[in-house]
Structure 1
Amino acid sequence: MIRLHHCHETRSMRSLWLLNELDLEFELQIHPFDKSLRSPEYLSLNPAGRVPALEIEGDVVFESGAITELLCERHSPDRLGRNPQDPDRPDWLTWVHFAETVSQHSAALTQQHIALYDDAMRSPIVMKLEAARLGKCFEAIEGRLSTPVENRDYLLTSGFSAADISVGQAVYMARHFVRLEAFPELAKWYDRITERPSFAASLPPEGAELLYKRDFYEVWNG
């Protein structure tokens, strides 16, 4: 049995997208993005009170990078994962976990723009710094996708993988704070990977309560 605990438009979408791409049978437990994640019942699954949490064959895994590694090792070591002998394994690991670097800056901006309920609590300096750091992350992805190799359609030379899912989901969140237009290769890659049915299946359904109420959040100047 596989059960994913999920909130719309959060890091758990990374695990949901991967489960859909793997075409596995699983149960989806959707939680509101609120204090209910601090309930004793949920904290027994994820002591940080965050999503994702993946229940799988009697175990619980609650870090998205670890979930990605585990699911790929068990269900797709060569297509979506890369086995330890694969020349692309170091790059696969690097980009799978780089997704969290992107996400931490998006999370800081989400807190500033959305979670804080009083303008006096917001910091234009923090917003500018975190948006600049996201821009540096986008530059890193742009540089990777601009590497002059044949058929550079994905992050790995050997083709589409869970690395694209992990970083792609991080960009899905980050694009609310940094525009993609300045990064043409990243934008083309993002369009390419989000055309996959597994991505569409991971989006919030129509009528769902969304975390992001706007397509883009400008830096707040007070």
Structure 2
Amino acid sequence: MIRLHHVPQSRSMRTLWLLHELAIDFEVVEWPFDKRLRSPEFLALNPAGRVPALELDGRAIWETGAITEVLCERFPATGMGRAPGDPERIDWLIWVHFAETLSQHIAALTQQHIALREDHMRSPVVMSLEAKRAEKCLAAVDARLEGRDYLLDGGFSAADVSVGQAVYMARHFVRIEGFPALGAWYARISARPGFIASLPVEDSQRLYTRDYYAPWPVEGAR
């Protein structure tokens, strides 16, 4: 039994997308983005009180990078991973975990624009710095994709899923039009059925209610 504990439009979307790409049977338990993630029930699955948590073979696994490695090792025939000894193994690991580098900046922007509900709580300096740091991450991805269809020469993999999901979140705060290689790659991977299946359904509680949050206080945070 494989069961994913998921909040729409969060890092757990990365695992949900990967599960669809692996074409395996799994269940999804959807949680709201609120204090219920601090409940004893959820903390028994992920002591950090964050998603994702993945139940697999009677135990819970947390941290998206770890989950990605475990799933790709468990289901190697899909080609989503790169096994030890594979010439692309190091690059695969770099990009799978680079997704978190970008995600940490998006998490800070999400906090500033969405989680902090009063203007006096927000910091224009933090917003500006984190947006610039996210742009630098996008520039690194764009440079890697120059002349490539995917992050690895061997083809689409969980590295594209991991970074692609982080870019999906980043697009709520940073424009990607200035990164042509990244833009073409993102259009390619976001057309995949697995990506589409990982998007929030119409009746889901969405973390992001806008497609784009302009730099505050130019337009306002909400």
TM interval, short-chain normalised: over 0.9
8 A Cα contact 2:80 2:158, kept in partner: yes
What is the one-letter code of the residue matched to 2:79? R
Does residue 206 (structure 1) correspond to residue 172 (structure 2)? The answer is no
Q: Note the 1:74-93 alignment, pairs <5 A.
A: 74-76=74-76, 79-93=79-93
What is the one-letter code of the residue matched to 2:67? I
User: Which residue of structure 2 lines up, in the alignment, with residue 3 of structure 1?
Assistant: 3
Counterpart pick for 2:166 among 170, 185, 189: 170
User: Aligned equivalents of 2:139 and 2:185: distance in 1?
Assistant: 13
Q: Note the 1:183-194 alignment, pairs <5 A.
A: 183-194=179-190
**TM-score (normalizing by structure 2):** 0.96
User: Which residue of structure 1 lines up, in the alignment, with residue 54 of structure 2?
Assistant: 54
Does residue 179 (structure 1) correspond to residue 175 (structure 2)? The answer is yes
8 A Cα contact 2:124 2:217, kept in partner: yes
8 A Cα contact 2:3 2:54, kept in partner: yes
Deviation at 1:78, TM superposition (A): 6.5
8 A Cα contact 1:77 1:83, kept in partner: no
SS in 2 for 1:4: strand
Instruction: State percent identity of aligned pairs.
Output: 65
Q: Note the 1:17-28 alignment, pairs <5 A.
A: 17-28=17-28
Q: Deviations over 1:135-174 (max 9, x none)?
A: 000000010011x4xxx10000111000000000000000
Deviation at 1:221, TM superposition (A): 2.7
8 A Cα contact 2:6 2:52, kept in partner: yes
What is the one-letter code of the residue matched to 2:18? L
Q: Note the 1:79-158 alignment, pairs <5 A.
A: 79-146=79-146, 148=147, 152-158=148-154
What is the one-letter code of the residue matched to 1:100? E
Deviation at 1:207, TM superposition (A): 2.4
Deviation at 1:200, TM superposition (A): 0.7
User: Aligned equivalents of 2:96 and 2:160: distance in 1?
Assistant: 8
User: Aligned equivalents of 1:77 and 1:141: distance in 2?
Assistant: 27
Task: Return 132-141 or 202-211, whichever deviates more.
Answer: 202-211
Q: Deviations over 1:76-129 (max 9, x none)?
A: 266100011110000000000000001000000000000001100000000000
User: Aligned equivalents of 2:107 and 2:178: distance in 1?
Assistant: 22
User: Aligned equivalents of 1:130 and 1:38: distance in 2?
Assistant: 26
SS in 2 for 1:142: helix
Unaligned segments of structure 1, at least 5 residues: none
User: Aligned equivalents of 2:92 and 2:77: distance in 1?
Assistant: 11
User: Aligned equivalents of 1:77 and 1:161: distance in 2?
Assistant: 12
Deviation at 1:47, TM superposition (A): 0.5
**TM-score (normalizing by structure 1):** 0.96
8 A Cα contact 1:5 1:31, kept in partner: yes
What is the one-letter code of the residue matched to 1:208? S
Task: Return 211-220 or 126-135, whichever deviates more.
Answer: 211-220
Deviation at 1:208, TM superposition (A): 1.7
Q: How many equivalent residue pairs?
A: 218
Unaligned segments of structure 2, at least 5 residues: none
User: Aligned equivalents of 1:213 and 1:45: distance in 2?
Assistant: 28
